[in-house]
Amino acid sequence: MDKRTDKITLEAVREQLGECRRCELCETRTTIVFGVGNPQAEVMFIGEAPGKQEDLGAEPFIGAAGKLLNSLLEVAGLTREEIFIANVLKCRPPNNRDPLPSEIEICSPFLRDQVRAVNPLVLVTLGRFATQFILKTDVGISNLRGQVHLTGRFSVLPIYHPAAALYDPSKKEVMERDFELLGALIAKRRKELTP
Ligand code: URA
């Protein structure tokens, strides 16, 4: 907590997480992947869970999906330095299996606090798990992506997970359009805040 503003800080969230042993993923992980980026980012990205490279490097999206994400960020006029990136799960599921509902339940308070700490203008949810968690819905990602959703005081833009475009290159064009939309959404949100 920042004593001057009573606002939760990323440092405090990291401290609460500690050397987490709240679920079985602690037995197989190499490192906890907390999240990286600008603590005051206007745009916060949320992925699913660390993969192999992230588990070794302790940073989200540094593997193949991350390389694609970097090129898509350029479409929106963004750099990695100005955004914040975190995942729903902070530890890698063995063999990159899907997160279990129990793991999401145990880990999600930390993501919720990270969102409160960063307090972005726009949340970008990458793929099904991040989108369904943030929007509290069971609707599939194909029906949610590319549209701006409002939840609380956040604008949420769901986008396919970059890994989906690695398996199915036809999704890349759709993702590029969604990142163009993201660029326009950021410009609109900034304008709304200009006195
Ligand atoms: N996929 C994710 O969802 N997150 C990462 O950090 C890497 C790959």
Question: What is the CA(126)–ligand 1 centre distance, in A?
Answer: 9
Range 108-126 average pLDDT: 97
pLDDT digits 0-9 by tens, 136-180: 999 999 999 999 999 988 999 999 999 999 999 999 999 999 999
Provide the whole-model pTM.
0.96
- Atom number of ligand 1 nearest to Cα 130: 3
Question: What is the CA(195)–ligand 1 centre distance, in A?
Answer: 37
Is the pLDDT assigned to residue 5 strictly greater than 70? no
147-151: long-range contacts (C-beta < 8 A, 24 or more apart)? Answer: 148/181, 148/185
- pLDDT interval class at 3 (50, 70, 90): low
Mutation pick for ligand 1 pocket among 46, 72, 83, 87 (CB with most ligand atoms within 8 Å): 87
Count of positions (residues) in the chain: 195
The beta strands (E) that lie in 4-151 are given as 36-37, 43-47, 84-87, 122-126, 149-151
Percent of the chain past pLDDT 70, that is, above it, reads 97
- pLDDT interval class at 195 (50, 70, 90): confident
Q: Give, for 154, the enclosing helix (H) or strand (E).
A: strand 154-159
Which pair of structure tokens corresponds to residue 10? Answer: 């990323």
Range 96-105 average pLDDT: 98
Is the pLDDT assigned to residue 63 strictly greater than 90? yes
Q: Are 90 and 54 in contact (CB under 8 A)?
A: no
- Atom number of ligand 1 nearest to Cα 88: 3
Instruction: Please report where in the chains the tokens 């959404």 appear, as a residue.
Output: 185
- pLDDT interval class at 110 (50, 70, 90): very high
- Atom number of ligand 1 nearest to Cα 48: 3
Using a 10 angstrom Cβ sphere, with 0-12 exposed, 13-18 middle and 19 or more buried, the burial of residue 120 is buried
Across the chain, what does the average pLDDT equal?
96
Range 24-39 average pLDDT: 98
Mutation pick for ligand 1 pocket among 36, 44, 54, 167 (CB with most ligand atoms within 8 Å): 54
Range 115-140 average pLDDT: 97
- What's the confidence (pLDDT) of residue 94? 98
Question: What is the CA(190)–ligand 1 centre distance, in A?
Answer: 28
- What's the confidence (pLDDT) of residue 4? 62
Percent of the chain past pLDDT 90, that is, above it, reads 94
Which pair of structure tokens corresponds to residue 115? Answer: 């969102």
- What's the confidence (pLDDT) of residue 23? 98
- Taking CB atoms and a 6 Å cutoff, what residues make up the pocket around ligand 1? 47-51, 54, 60-61, 65, 87
- What's the confidence (pLDDT) of residue 2? 65
Mutation pick for ligand 1 pocket among 53, 68, 88, 161 (CB with most ligand atoms within 8 Å): 161
